């Protein structure tokens, strides 16, 4: 019954708040998305992953859900949503919704009821007595992903509740069977309305370690604890799969923080009966220590990390991505200083990603080369940035200049500046002042300009996706790195029977010489895709220009 359509699919991620404002209040919404469906189709993607649009008080922009079965007022109505879904399906685009079930909003009716000790909903969340004589110390030392303790004290009941994110995002207690059934039913509610799958938010967090023991951490108040893939994680996933995912021709992708190539098979093998695919964050860890401290990008290390995922058995489908709504932009993150070669750099990163094995995800704006933004402290809107500044100011103010520097590299806000549609008023995003600052470079970087030039980054993405479609060697061919230790060039070979594809990408904003290994022989090489117009034919020594990227079919 299940077709594995996602094996040859490319997904476009929409962060609705920042995509397009349809009603002129400065906030992106569903009608805005509807107005851009032809644009999305034109890129050549097969599916959309839509970040949350459910009812939410927006402490974490929709990742704090107060009603799983309705749409946030700012984004529109369920009827708007249905029109959007029909519009996607009419264009052959599938819809992957965000599934945020590690936690709810504290304004969800379950949590409101749960504050009452006698309610059956008390057990839907993780309530514990505090430590110390008067119980005024948190039950354990876990910290929230948004810094500070992961526990909030509730005066009324004299107990604490767990929140691995903000205190307005209490963690659900998956040990409760009724709760698990409600979640499966809720997924089926959306499947019955026609959605094609789910992206499962922090899904590896749902099973907590027995007894909630103290965790190890690098710094007080900051740093991950040991709540990833707890003891009943697989059991819960298999159950949800059995009760929901497997009953529809769906695709699921887990935001699987902490997953490794070694334990991924158990989660995503076709026979696992859990998730179809997962996002791993190993490659996002190459230039940030512990997810926050910037370190120099090292291409050799990056390739090595990606390669481990490429070598998963063929019964496991990897995912490929450079950006999402939590990450800084890939320009200049992975390209370095691109100077006047921003679009060439964007093309280079696109080529390296798109021809590996896996399901690629393109984040809104990536296709036109949107970049990080030169924020001042007042410009940040994301709870994570705000909390980091708050905490540092409180505990050690001399660190503030460093914190500002780090956030300029790391903040999630970089991905959330409004989509740049044109060089006109508010970048064509809205008639009104947008909810967060625009990147001032919208005057140069925007969709309209990209549409007007045949050699633009957007048109390159279109070409690359069209070339990719249906090619067996790309979908399922073997992957092997060529000169893995080279720190300037990302090159690899894809092989499927007689078909061979060689991908060569210069990650530097300067010319680089590259010798093909002696063992790599061919009688003819046909250039299939390139970001330069006048590429010389392939010889054993290549001279690649700034960010030059090429795909060759070898015979």
The site for Ca ion (CB under 5 A) is made up of: 21, 23, 25, 27, 29
Residue 328 burial class via C-beta count within 10 angstroms: exposed 0-12, middle 13-18, buried 19 and up: buried
Does residue number 411 form part of the binding site for ligand TEU (CB under 6 A)? Answer: no
Which string of DSSP letters, residue by residue, matches 173-212?
-TT-HHHHHHHHHHHHHHHHHT--EEEETTGGGSSPPTT-
H/E element, 525: strand 525-530
Q: Which two tokens stand for residue 505?
A: 């990408």
25 binds, among ligand TEU, Ca ion, none (CB under 5 to 8 A by kind): Ca ion
Q: Which two tokens stand for residue 2?
A: 């299940």
Does residue number 321 form part of the binding site for ligand TEU (CB under 6 A)? Answer: no
Build a one-symbol-per-residue string for 477-516: x at contacts with ligand TEU by CB under 6 A, - elsewhere.
----------------------------------------
What residue is closest to ligand TEU based on CB?
63
Report how far Cα 509 is from the mean position of its chain's Cα atoms: 27
Active site residues: 201, 255
Find all residues with CB under 8 Å of 534, minimum gap 6, and list them.
Answer: none
The least distance separating ligand TEU from the CB of residue 321, rounded to whole angstroms, comes to: 12
Does residue number 20 form part of the binding site for ligand TEU (CB under 6 A)? Answer: no
291 binds, among ligand TEU, Ca ion, none (CB under 5 to 8 A by kind): ligand TEU
Report 431-470 residues binding ligand TEU (CB under 6 A): none
Which residue is it, tokens 């590259």? 514
Whether the bond between 34 and the residue before it is cis, its omega within 30 degrees of 0, is no
Judged by CB under 6 A, which of 21, 201, 239, 367 binds ligand TEU? 201
What residue is closest to Ca ion based on CB?
29
Find all residues with CB under 8 Å of 505, minimum gap 6, and list them.
Answer: 348, 349, 351, 352, 489, 490, 491, 547, 548, 549, 550
Closer residue to ligand TEU, CB minimum distance, 60 or 287: 60
Judged by CB under 6 A, which of 68, 81, 124, 165 binds ligand TEU? 165
The least distance separating ligand TEU from the CB of residue 441, rounded to whole angstroms, comes to: 24
Alpha-carbon span 352 to 283, nearest angstrom? 13
Does residue number 171 form part of the binding site for ligand TEU (CB under 6 A)? Answer: no
Q: 342-354 vs 457-468: helix axis angle to the nearest 10?
A: 20
Does residue number 239 form part of the binding site for ligand TEU (CB under 6 A)? Answer: no
User: CA-CA distances (angstroms) from residue 252 to 63, 86, 87, 102, 191?
Assistant: 18, 20, 21, 16, 12
183 binds, among Ca ion, ligand TEU, none (CB under 5 to 8 A by kind): none
The least distance separating Ca ion from the CB of residue 391, rounded to whole angstroms, comes to: 32
Alpha-carbon span 162 to 169, nearest angstrom? 9
99 binds, among ligand TEU, Ca ion, none (CB under 5 to 8 A by kind): none
Cα dihedral 350→355→358→364 (10° resolution): 20
Q: How big is the chain by its Cα radius of gyration, in Å? A: 24
* Residues 28 and 18: beta-carbon distance below 8 Å: yes
29 binds, among Ca ion, ligand TEU, none (CB under 5 to 8 A by kind): Ca ion
Indicate if the alpha-carbon torsion angle 191, 184, 62, 97 is positive or negative: negative
Report 84-103 residues binding ligand TEU (CB under 6 A): 100
Build a one-symbol-per-residue string for 274-293: x at contacts with ligand TEU by CB under 6 A, - elsewhere.
-----------------x--
Does residue number 63 form part of the binding site for ligand TEU (CB under 6 A)? Answer: yes
Does residue number 6 form part of the binding site for ligand TEU (CB under 6 A)? Answer: no
Judged by CB under 6 A, which of 60, 274, 287, 548 binds ligand TEU? 60
Closer residue to Ca ion, CB minimum distance, 25 or 423: 25
Does residue number 198 form part of the binding site for ligand TEU (CB under 6 A)? Answer: no
Does residue number 13 form part of the binding site for ligand TEU (CB under 6 A)? Answer: no
Does residue number 338 form part of the binding site for ligand TEU (CB under 6 A)? Answer: no
* Residues 263 and 282: beta-carbon distance below 8 Å: no
Build a one-symbol-per-residue string for 123-162: x at contacts with ligand TEU by CB under 6 A, - elsewhere.
----------------------x-----------------
The site for ligand TEU (CB under 6 A) is made up of 60, 63, 100, 145, 165, 201-202, 255, 257, 291, 325-326, 384, 412
């Amino acid at each position: 019954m299940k077709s594995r359509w996602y094996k040859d699919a490319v997904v476009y991620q929409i962060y609705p708040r920042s995509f397009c404002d349809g009603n002129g209040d400065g906030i992106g919404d569903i009608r805005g998305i509807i107005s851009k469906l032809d644009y999305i189709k034109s890129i050549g993607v097969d599916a959309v992953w839509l970040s949350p649009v459910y009812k939410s008080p927006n402490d974490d922009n929709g990742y704090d859900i107060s009603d799983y079965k309705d749409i946030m007022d700012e984004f529109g109505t369920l009827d708007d949503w249905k029109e959007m879904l029909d519009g996607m399906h009419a264009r052959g685009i599938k819809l992957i919704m965000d599934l945020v079930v590690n936690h709810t909003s504290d304004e969800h009716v379950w949590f409101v009821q749960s504050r009452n000790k006698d309610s059956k909903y008390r057990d839907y969340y993780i309530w514990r007595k505090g430590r110390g004589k008067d119980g005024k110390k948190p039950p354990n030392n876990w910290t929230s992903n948004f810094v500070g303790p992961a526990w909030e004290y509730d005066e009324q009941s004299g107990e604490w509740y767990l929140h691995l994110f903000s205190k307005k995002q209490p963690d659900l207690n998956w040990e409760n069977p009724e709760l698990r059934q409600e979640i499966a039913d809720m997924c089926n509610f959306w499947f019955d309305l026609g959605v094609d799958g789910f992206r499962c938010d922090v899904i590896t967090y749902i099973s907590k370690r027995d007894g909630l023991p103290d965790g190890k951490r690098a710094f007080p108040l900051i740093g991950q604890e040991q709540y990833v893939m707890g003891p009943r994680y697989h059991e819960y996933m298999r159950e949800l799969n059995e009760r929901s995912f497997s009953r529809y021709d769906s695709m699921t992708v887990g935001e699987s923080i902490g997953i490794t190539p070694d334990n991924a098979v158990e989660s995503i093998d076709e026979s696992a009966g859990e998730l179809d695919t997962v996002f791993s964050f190993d490659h996002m860890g190459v230039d940030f220590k512990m997810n926050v401290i910037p370190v120099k990008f090292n291409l050799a290390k990056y390739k090595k990390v990606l390669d481990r995922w490429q070598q998963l058995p063929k019964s496991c489908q990897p995912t490929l991505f450079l950006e999402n709504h939590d990450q800084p932009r890939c320009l200049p993150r992975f390209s370095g200083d691109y100077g006047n070669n921003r679009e060439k750099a964007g093309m280079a990163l696109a080529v390296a990603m798109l021809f590996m094995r896996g399901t690629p995800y393109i984040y809104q704006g990536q296709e036109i080369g949107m970049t990080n933004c030169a924020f001042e402290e007042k410009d940040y809107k994301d709870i994570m940035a705000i909390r980091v500044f708050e905490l540092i100011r409180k505990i050690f103010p001399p660190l503030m200049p460093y914190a500002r520097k780090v956030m300029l590299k790391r903040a999630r806000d970089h991905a959330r500046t409004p989509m740049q549609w044109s060089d006109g008023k508010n970048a064509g995003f809205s008639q009104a002042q947008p909810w967060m600052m625009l990147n001032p470079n919208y005057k140069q970087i925007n969709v309209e300009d990209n549409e007007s030039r045949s050699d633009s980054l957007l048109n390159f993405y279109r070409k690359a996706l069209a070339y990719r479609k249906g090619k067996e060697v790309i979908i399922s061919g073997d992957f092997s790195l060529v000169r893995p230790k080279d720190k300037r060039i990302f090159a690899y070979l894809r092989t499927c029977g007689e078909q061979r594809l060689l991908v060569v990408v210069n990650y530097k904003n300067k010319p680089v010489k590259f010798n093909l290994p002696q063992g790599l022989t061919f009688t003819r090489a046909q250039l299939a895709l390139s970001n330069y117009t006048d590429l010389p034919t392939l010889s054993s020594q290549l001279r690649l220009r700034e960010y030059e990227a090429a795909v060759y079919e070898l015979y």
